[in-house]
C-alpha cells in the first residue's frame, strides 16, 4: 500500500506498539461504568442507573453540553483519596498497554470541591497513582489543573489559591467545560497569575467555539498549547500563524465524533491539519465516555483517513515535542520512536 504498510492490520500493529504521549485526558473522563458502580457501592452513593449497560446507553450525546451534564453527574461517586487513586491507576494501567510512555493529565478540582471533597484528597489520590506508574513502568507524567469556564473568574482565583500548597505537583493550568459564551478572555487575570507562579498554560479552544476564541487563548491568555483547535481551520491566517509558531494542538478524534464536532471520522480534519503544517497530536479526551483510549483514537482516524507511516510517526513525535518534558527526555522518546519504526519495516 502507498501508505507504507502491507495492510490495515499491519498499520494497527504498528500503532499498537508506537511509543506515544497523551496530552489531552480528563482523568474524571476515564471513569468506566464498572468502576462507577463499584465506587457507588463502596461509598453508598446512589446513581440514576441500574446497570453498566444502561450507563453506556446513556452515552449518546448531541453536543458538548449534553456530555458535560452526564460527566459532572458521574463524578459524584468520587469521594475518598483511594477513589482518586483507583480512578487514576486504572487509566494509567490501561494506557500502559497502549505504549503510552508519558501522560499530561487534566483534573477538574471545582467538580469535587463544590461537592465537599477536599482539594488535598483529590490531588493526593491522583499523584499517588502517578508516582506508582513512574515506579512500576517508568511512565512520566505532568498534572494540569483546569478551571471550569462556566463558573466565574473569581471562583477560578479561589481554586488557584487552594492549589498554592500543592504547586510542586501541579505543572500547569487549563480551561475546560462549556466553551460557547465563555471566551478565554473571561479568565485573563487568573491565567496571568498562574503564569507569574511559573505554571504552564493551556486552554480548550475551537472545539465548539469560533476561531476568535483561539486568537484569545493565544493573545490574551498566552497559552503554550491549544486543546482541540479544530475550528482554527476556518481561518487561513490563524492556521498560518499556528503552523509558523509550531503551536501544538491536542486533537481528540473519537471525542469529536461523539460530540458531533464531526459527522463521521472520514470527515475528521486531522489529515488537513497535518497537511497544513500544524503540530497536531492524537488524544482520547474522556475515553470512558467516547468509546476508546488513545490507540483506538489513532486506529479510528488512521483507518478513516488512510494515514501513512510518516503521518503516524509525525503524530507520535508531536506528542513528545509538544509535551512539557525537558529536551533530553523528549529526545530519548524520539529515539524510541525511530527504533520502533526501524524494527517494523
Ligand atoms: N471536560 C471534559 N471533557 C471536555 C471537553 N471535551 N471539552 C470541554 N470540557 C471538557
Ligand atoms: Zn478536553
Q: What is the pLDDT of residue 284?
A: 98
Asked if residue 14 has pLDDT above 80, the reply is: yes
pLDDT-derived band of residue 1, with 50, 70 and 90 as boundaries? confident
Asked if residue 68 has pLDDT above 90, the reply is: yes
Cell of 52: 453498566
Closest residue by Cα to residue 85 from 120, 123, 125, 144: 125
Asked if residue 221 has pLDDT above 90, the reply is: yes
Which atom of ligand 1 lies nearest, measured to the CA of 26? 2
Residue with CA nearest ligand 1 atom 10: 177
Tell me what the mean pLDDT of segment 307-334 comes to.
98
Asked if residue 317 has pLDDT above 80, the reply is: yes
Tell me what the mean pLDDT of segment 184-190 comes to.
98
- Find the residues whose C-beta lies inside 6 A of ligand 1: 26, 29, 64, 71, 176-177, 204, 207, 255, 285-286
Tell me what the mean pLDDT of segment 162-169 comes to.
98
- What is the CATH T-level fold of the domain 8-343, as seen in this structure? TIM Barrel (3.20.20)
Question: Where in the chain are the domains?
Answer: 8-343
Catalytic residues: 207
User: Which of 61, 227, 285 gets mutated to test ligand 1 (max ligand atoms within 8 A of its CB)?
Assistant: 285
Cα–Cα distance measured from residue 7 to residue 303, given in angstroms and rounded to the nearest whole number? 11
Model pLDDT for residues 243-290, shown as the tens digit of each residue: 999 999 999 999 999 999 999 999 999 999 999 999 999 999 999 999
Mean pLDDT (the chain) is: 98
Residue with CA nearest ligand 1 atom 9: 177
Q: What is the pLDDT of residue 345?
A: 87
Tell me what the mean pLDDT of segment 315-340 comes to.
99
Tell me what the mean pLDDT of segment 144-168 comes to.
98
Output the CA torsion 159→165→169→173 (10° steps).
30
Cα–Cα distance measured from residue 217 to residue 24, given in angstroms and rounded to the nearest whole number? 16
- E strands within the chain? 20-26, 100-107, 140-148, 172-176, 200-205, 225-228, 248-251, 279-282
Amino acid at each position: 500500500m502507498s501508505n507504507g504498510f502491507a495492510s490495515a492490520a499491519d498499520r494497527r500493529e504498528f500503532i499498537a506498539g508506537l511509543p506515544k504521549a497523551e496530552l489531552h485526558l480528563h482523568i474524571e473522563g476515564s471513569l468506566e461504568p464498572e468502576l462507577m458502580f463499584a465506587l457507588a457501592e463502596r461509598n453508598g452513593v446512589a446513581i440514576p442507573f441500574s446497570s453498566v449497560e444502561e450507563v453506556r446507553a446513556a452515552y449518546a450525546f448531541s453536543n458538548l453540553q449534553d456530555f458535560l451534564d452526564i460527566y459532572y453527574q458521574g463524578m459524584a461517586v468520587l469521594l475518598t483519596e483511594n477513589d482518586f487513586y483507583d480512578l487514576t491507576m486504572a487509566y494509567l494501567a490501561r494506557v500502559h498497554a497502549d505504549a503510552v510512555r508519558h501522560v499530561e493529565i487534566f483534573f477538574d478540582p471545582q467538580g469535587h470541591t463544590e461537592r465537599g471533597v477536599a482539594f488535598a484528597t483529590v490531588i493526593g489520590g491522583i499523584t499517588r497513582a502517578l508516582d506508582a506508574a513512574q515506579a512500576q513502568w517508568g511512565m512520566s507524567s505532568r498534572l494540569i489543573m483546569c478551571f471550569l469556564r462556566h463558573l466565574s473568574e473569581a471562583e477560578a482565583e479561589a481554586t488557584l489559591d487552594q492549589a498554592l500548597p500543592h504547586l510542586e505537583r501541579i505543572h500547569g493550568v487549563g480551561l475546560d467545560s462549556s466553551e460557547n459564551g465563555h471566551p478565554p478572555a473571561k479568565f485573563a487575570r487568573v491565567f496571568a497569575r498562574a503564569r507569574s507562579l511559573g505554571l504552564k498554560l493551556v486552554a480548550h479552544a475551537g472545539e465548539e467555539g469560533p476561531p476568535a476564541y483561539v486568537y484569545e487563548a493565544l493573545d490574551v491568555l498566552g497559552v503554550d498549547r491549544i486543546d482541540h483547535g479544530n475550528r482554527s481551520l476556518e481561518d487561513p491566517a490563524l492556521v498560518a500563524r499556528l503552523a509558523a509558531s509550531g503551536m501544538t494542538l491536542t486533537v481528540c478524534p473519537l471525542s469529536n465524533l461523539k460530540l458531533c464536532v464531526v459527522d463521521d471520522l472520514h470527515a475528521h480534519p486531522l489529515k488537513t491539519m497535518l497537511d497544513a503544517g500544524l503540530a497536531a497530536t492524537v488524544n482520547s479526551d474522556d475515553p470512558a465516555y467516547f468509546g476508546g483510549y488513545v490507540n483506538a483514537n489513532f486506529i479510528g482516524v488512521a483507518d478513516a483517513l488512510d494515514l501513512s507511516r510518516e503521518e503516524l510517526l509525525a503524530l507520535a513525535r508531536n506528542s513528545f515535542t509538544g509535551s512539557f518534558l525537558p529536551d533530553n527526555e523528549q529526545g530519548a522518546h524520539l529515539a524510541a520512536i525511530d527504533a520502533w519504526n526501524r524494527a517494523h519495516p
